[in-house]
Amino acid sequence: MNLYRVFDWDGRSRGPSPGGPLYVPRLHQGAGRFDIPTVDGVLYASLSPVAAVAEAIQVYRNQSLSDDDFIFDDGRQQALAHFSLSEKARLVDLTDSRELAKRNLRPAEIATFDRTVTHRVAQSLHEEKCDGFLWWSALEASWTHVVLFQSRIQKKLKWVKPIQILRTTTPDVMAAAQFLKIRLEN
């Protein structure tokens, strides 16, 4: 399975250390939809590079976005990582109505902005010993996101392509911006 993740890259790190594509800032987790920081780190990814980029730039809806917006004061830059997840990874597909029914979950419990509900779902799936789960994007239901439990997936991910620095001329940025009605400045 191909996965894509936008992350704040320091230009050097390639793994789970700060500034790397597999870094999960557990101390800052808790507000995210499926965060369970007291149990495990949660790494968010997407099945589509456009979906991953859209999640990262959605704060610029109805505004403009320039290359400078991808660069932070400390020198880190937003970048796109492309991974392959091992077939041995056990993911629960919450986009499948049978999986929801099996767990007595309603779609609203996955899509809600009530974090007490979504955190409870993530913790329950973690307790099932799965590596993560799939769910649909709140931005576009046809986009699928993947939540991976950090402690279980490190050895099940491998690089597919080099890390790509995001720019307004990056095709995936252009497609996501068009979808979100973000004006791009060159």
Q: Is the confidence at residue 186, as pLDDT, over 80?
A: no
The per-residue pLDDT of the chain, averaged, comes to: 94
Structural element, H or E, at residue 153 = helix 150-153
Alpha carbons 87 and 124: distance in angstroms, whole number: 22
Going from the C-alpha of 37 to that of each of 11, 14, 33, 113, the distances in angstroms are 26, 22, 12, 18
DSSP letter at 152?
H
Q: Tens digits of per-residue pLDDT, 104-135?
A: 999 999 988 899 999 999 999 999 999 999 99
What is the 3-class SS of 89-150, one letter each residue? Answer: CCEEECCCHHHHHHCCCCHHHHHCCCHHHHHHHHHHHHHCCCCEEEEECCCCCCCEEEEEEH
pLDDT in tens, 20-79: 999 998 888 888 899 999 999 999 999 999 999 999 999 999 999 999 999 999 999 999
User: Which two tokens mark 131?
Assistant: 């590596």
Q: Can you give the pTM of this predicted structure?
A: 0.93
Q: In a 3-state reduction of DSSP, which class is residue 86?
A: coil
